[in-house]
Homo-oligomer: A and B are copies of this chain.
Amino acid sequence: MKATINDVAKQAGVSIKTVSRVINNEISVRQLTREKVQKAVEELNYQPNLAARNLAGAKSFSIAYIYDNPNAYYIIDMQEGILSACKQQGFELLIHPCDAKNKNITEEVVNMVKHARIAGLILTPPLSEMPEFVKSLVALDVKVVRIMSGDVAPDDLSPCVMVNDRDAAQTITQHLIDLGHTDIGFIAGDAKHMSTVERYKGYRRALKESNIDFDKKLVIEGEYSFDSGVSGAKQLMSTESNNTRPTAIFSCNDEIAAGALFAARLMNISIPEQLSIVGFENSPFSRQTWPKLTTADQPNNQIAGDAANLLISQVRKQKNQTTISQYVPKLIIRDSTAKC
């Protein structure tokens, strides 16, 4: 039923080793032979047995996606991007959810890698931003690719796919400025996350480039949560507070923005008439809030596919891809922002 390498060899009239060479894209096979084999492969609809390859060879054809779960939408998008790259390249994907706050996480993952014969790992924030964790993994016999926030890799522990949150945040803030806002609040996400830091930098840069004075009181420390958005917005908009009341709020992600929206509703502040709010991430629910959120979108699927391909080419020891891809999230204007 299912064709083996033997069947292909017979059909092509060569040895199984030659078939093996062809399917592994090795160089020393004559063009003619290669074609014969490829024809046989097609005819028999042959697909190499992953278990056997993994068992026999020194190489492994499995990579793993290790994630902590900040956001189901993000994970699913990433996962599907990685999955389709894997399928295309004949790799197998192991999914490994874990908890970044767990003290033993390094041990846990190191163990998994050792036991599962894994060739490479893909890490997303917050795991990709834990230097000690990453170091421990790089020290093992696996390749690592990280998806991170920033414009350039912070170190050379591993190749990275960078998401330029800074530029995107600047664009968003500029959008607010273009609408006439000058008092723009900022509700931060978890301070430990690079994305928060980067978005903050972009916000600051936009203000600076437009010569708007920076007011520290307009910056609220928070975390990536709805509740943080609620309390942040309350704090910013409270009439008792002695700071300037902002006319716009930059929320570090959509969840915070949704919280801010919620708070505004509580305080009878109408959006966007009295207050503009922007989010970040373009989560599905950002289209389902009232009003719909202006936000920034990043092609997670594609980013993940990129990372997976980068990783696989590392594993294959093909040219040591030094090119680091960078993505800049794109502004999406919806209904939560308006002229001042």
Instruction: Give residues in A with beta carbon < 8 Å to B.
Output: 1-2, 47, 49-52, 54-55, 69, 72-73, 75-77, 79-80, 83, 92-95, 97, 114-117, 226, 255, 258-259, 261-262, 265, 284-285, 287-290
Ranked 10 nearest A-B pairs via Cβ? A51-B54, A72-B76, A72-B72, A51-B51, A51-B55, A226-B288, A72-B73, A285-B285, A265-B290, A258-B288
Given contacts A51-B52, A55-B55, A259-B288, could you give 16 more A-B pairs where the C-beta distance is less than 8 Å? A2-B114, A49-B117, A50-B51, A52-B55, A72-B73, A72-B75, A72-B76, A72-B77, A72-B284, A76-B76, A80-B97, A258-B285, A258-B288, A261-B290, A262-B290, A285-B288
Q: How many copies does the complex hold?
A: 2
Name the distance in Å between A47's Cβ and chain B's nearest Cβ.
5
Q: How far is the CA of A96 from the CA of B55 in the complex (A)?
A: 23
Q: Find A2's partner among B52, B54, B80, B115 (CB 8 Å cutoff).
A: B115
Smallest Cβ-Cβ distance to A259: which chain B residue:
B288
Name the distance in Å between A267's Cβ and chain B's nearest Cβ.
12
Q: Which residues on B sit within 8 Å (CB–CB) of A51?
A: 50-52, 54-55, 117
Q: How far is the CA of A265 from the CA of B290 in the complex (A)?
A: 8
Name the distance in Å between A10's Cβ and chain B's nearest Cβ.
20
Q: Which residues on B sit within 8 Å (CB–CB) of A258?
A: 285, 288
A-B contact pairs, 24 of them (CB 8 A): A1-B114, A2-B114, A49-B55, A50-B116, A51-B51, A51-B54, A51-B117, A55-B55, A72-B75, A72-B77, A75-B76, A76-B76, A79-B95, A80-B97, A83-B97, A92-B94, A226-B287, A255-B288, A258-B288, A262-B288, A262-B290, A265-B290, A289-B289, A290-B290
Q: Which residues on B sit within 8 Å (CB–CB) of A76?
A: 69, 72, 75-76
Name the distance in Å between A313's Cβ and chain B's nearest Cβ.
22
Q: How far is the CA of A69 from the CA of B79 in the complex (A)?
A: 12
Name the distance in Å between A168's Cβ and chain B's nearest Cβ.
22
Smallest Cβ-Cβ distance to A86: which chain B residue:
B95
Name the distance in Å between A97's Cβ and chain B's nearest Cβ.
5
Q: How far is the CA of A173 from the CA of B100 in the complex (A)?
A: 40
